[in-house]
Structure 1
Amino acid sequence: MRTDVMQFAALADLAAEPVGPPLPWERSREACGVEFPADYREFIDQFGPGEVRSYLGVNAPWPWPGSSQDGEIFRVFTSRTIEDLGPVFREMRDEDPALCPYPLLPETGGLLHWGGTIQGDQFFWLTSDPDPMEWPVVAWFRGKDLRDAWRRYNMRFVAFLVHALSGEDQDMHDLLNWPNEPFWRRTG
């Protein structure tokens, strides 16, 4: 297991047992044009989709009941960015580029959504680097002034989760307000 994933597992007191067979990650590029970061792939294979402290949700291209483990799961995952969130953020950018300073998939190097909070904050990867392990996390914090709502974290997915739980990030401090909730709860 990757060191960063092991660190998260230790923090969450999780067993290092995969939730099921690994997803067919090798099909993702052909299915949706995206190769996912290695730390995210291993995290999802180990823990599945879920929530940190019932506050921060982590989405996954997970096979829902009745679906097959083919490329469709990856297309459905990326459609959250392309069809659901993308138009909203593109409209903001068209109104004023400062309101959404990043492109969104399917634009080259665009943001790819991977999760959000119960308060409506949204988390993405910025896919501008050809190496998915170099994709920084970009957050949009709902409730902030729209011109100050974006924050780029120059760290990988799992490192971001550990960072968010450290208590050092003022924007992620609400995550710590749920101490009686399980550290990690699988939702898929």
Structure 2
Amino acid sequence: MLPSDYKLLADSYPSLAFGDFLCVGFPNPGQERAWAEDSEDLEVLAEWCADAETSTPLYPFPAPGGLLPWATSNEGDYFLWNTTASGPDEWTVTVASRSGGWWHYTGGAVQFLADLVSGALDLWGLPPVRPWVEAF
């Protein structure tokens, strides 16, 4: 149910913090569905989707093609998978800013993280991430 690159990352690390900005948590093995349907994050996301001023309506997971959170920032931003593709390995990233901005990245979560840390990513108003990673 989750992208294979993300599952590999989850198998390798308990949780990750990128700089002092982005936090990536992982589900416990066998708990992926419960993790994906965490009501607190999805309730916040449902409100944000309803308020989004985008050309295409946005919906939280588990709606068909819904947005599924996989990371958050210490500023309250969400990093989401756009689940509209044919399968998890095709999901792309959407960033939902606490300030109301929505940005789309054409790659997956692990490539997004690599581009973010390397400085190759257009930050869309997000702060730069210091190039250190902490596993906890």
Could you say which TM-score interval applies, normalised by the shorter chain?
A: 0.7 to 0.9
More helix by share: 1
Over aligned residue pairs, what C-alpha RMSD do you find?
2.3
Written as runs of structure 1 = structure 2, the 5 A alignment for 1:1-188 is: 35-62=1-28, 69=29, 71=30, 73-80=31-38, 83-94=39-50, 96=51, 98=53, 101-143=57-99, 146=100, 149-168=101-120, 169-171=122-124, 174-176=127-129, 178=130, 183-187=132-136
Contact 1:167 1:173 in 2 (8 A): no
Give the whole-Å Cα distance in 2 for the aligned partners of 1:92 and 1:127.
17
Helix, strand or coil at the partner of 1:174: coil
User: How high is the TM-score relative to the length of structure 2?
Assistant: 0.84
Give the whole-Å Cα distance in 2 for the aligned partners of 1:101 and 1:120.
22
Give the whole-Å Cα distance in 2 for the aligned partners of 1:133 and 1:98.
28
The structure-2 alpha-carbon separation of the partners of 1:93 and 1:116, relative to structure 1 and needing over 3 Å to count, comes to closer
Q: Give the drift of 1:111.
A: 0.8
Give the whole-Å Cα distance in 2 for the aligned partners of 1:43 and 1:175.
22
More strand by share: 2
**Which 4+ stretches in 1 moved above 4 angstroms?**
none
Give the whole-Å Cα distance in 2 for the aligned partners of 1:60 and 1:137.
16
The structure-2 alpha-carbon separation of the partners of 1:91 and 1:55, relative to structure 1 and needing over 3 Å to count, comes to closer
Q: Which has the larger radius of gyration?
A: 1
Contact 2:37 2:62 in 1 (8 A): no
Using the aligned pairs only, state the percent identity.
28
Structure with the greater relative contact order (CA < 8 A, sep ≥ 6): 1 or 2?
2
User: Tell me, which stretches of 5 or more residues in structure 2 are unaligned?
Assistant: none
- Aligned residue pair count: 134
Helix, strand or coil at the partner of 2:2: coil
